[in-house]
């Protein structure tokens, strides 16, 4: 049995005898709830797509034309689940909300054909790609990596996963984000520049996808700052809802 399988068992089946195989306490496997089920969705990696709605590309000062998708990552343990709070992070004065459709991968693979890509998708969720925008601008300007702006603690609030076996594979549906009741972001899944099958196919050419991978598919226009005390509410028609309080 591989180390990975042992880890998963530790967490999910709570078989504690295996812990003595590690010299320090084993990190737990991050996990999302699954709507209406007791079993969870264990998370392997979190991939994110940049600039996947034309109106958002334009608001960020980029060409909205269909250039190849690009990807960055967050850490699996950056997830905030069950509507938990979002603690305002350090070293920034400009944290932005980005509401996104999240794809949950159930079957791994490499160089997946876009025709077969949906067979690899187990379900969907509503996620927030929280971003330290001021740090991202600095990193872009200096040509440095984005992690400090994207992959910080609590940077990935996410709803429960809903199985594709229940909701299908949504290709349209209103995407909305409200802050304290005011609509800030509004779009539709039919505005995605790169569709889910294309994203899965392209990403699997760069990385070997594994069961448990999440893909945040990009945000519509209207990104903007949050402050402590704000209630951020997101919804994607046909997929679900997510709310988090900035504390
Ligand atoms: Mn994003």
Q: What is the DSSP string of 71-108?
A: EEEE-GGGEE-TT--BPPPSS-S-EEE-EEEEEEE-S-
Q: Compute, in angstroms, the gap from residue 220 CA to the centroid of ligand 1.
A: 9
Residue 51 C-alpha to ligand 1 middle, in angstroms?
7
Q: How far apart are CA 18 and CA 23, in angstroms?
A: 12
pLDDT at 64: 80
- The first and second tokens of residue 236, run together, are 């994607």
The H or E element containing residue 3 is helix 3-12
CA of 50 to the centre of ligand 1 (A): 6
Pairing between β-strand 46-49 and β-strand 214-216 as defined by DSSP bridges: parallel
Hey, what's the torsion of the CAs at 189, 131, 80, 30, to 10 degrees?
90
CA 219 to ligand 1 center in whole angstroms: 5
Using CA atoms, how far residue 188 sits from 82, 193, 197, 244, in Å, is 24, 11, 17, 21
User: How high is the pLDDT of residue 61?
Assistant: 87
Residue 100 pLDDT: 98
What are the average pLDDT values for consecutive 10-residue runs of the chain, which has 247 residues? 54 60 90 96 97 89 84 98 97 98 98 98 98 97 97 98 98 98 97 96 98 98 98 98 98
| pLDDT of amino acid 65 | 78
The rounded Å distance from CA 49 to ligand 1 centre is: 6
Q: Is the pTM of this model over 0.85?
A: yes
The number of beta carbons lying within 10 Å of the beta carbon of residue 154 is 19
pLDDT at 1: 45
């Amino acid at each position: 049995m591989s180390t990975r399988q042992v880890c998963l068992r530790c967490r999910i089946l709570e078989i504690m005898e295996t812990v003595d195989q590690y010299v320090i306490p084993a990190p737990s496997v991050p996990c999302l709830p699954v709507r209406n089920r007791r079993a969870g969705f264990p998370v392997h990696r979190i991939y994110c797509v940049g600039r996947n709605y034309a109106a958002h590309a334009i608001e960020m000062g980029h060409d909205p034309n269909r250039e190849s998708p690009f990807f960055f990552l967050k850490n699996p343990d950056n997830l905030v689940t069950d509507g938990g709070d979002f603690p305002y992070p350090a070293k920034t004065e400009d944290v932005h909300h980005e509401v996104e459709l999240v794809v949950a991968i159930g079957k791994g693979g490499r160089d997946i054909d876009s025709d077969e890509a949906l067979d690899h998708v187990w379900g969907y969720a509503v996620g927030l790609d929280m971003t330290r925008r001021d740090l991202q601008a600095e990193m872009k300007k200096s040509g440095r990596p984005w992690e400090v702006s994207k992959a910080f603690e609590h940077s990935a609030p996410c709803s429960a996963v809903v199985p594709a076996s229940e909701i299908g594979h949504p290709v349209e549906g209103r995407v909305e984000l409200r802050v304290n009741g005011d609509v800030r972001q509004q779009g539709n899944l039919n505005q995605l520049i790169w569709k889910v099958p294309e994203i899965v196919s392209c990403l699997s050419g760069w990385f070997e996808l594994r069961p448990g991978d999440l893909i945040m598919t990009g945000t519509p226009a209207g990104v903007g700052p949050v402050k402590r005390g704000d209630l951020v509410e997101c919804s994607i028609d046909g997929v679900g809802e997510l709310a988090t309080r900035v504390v």
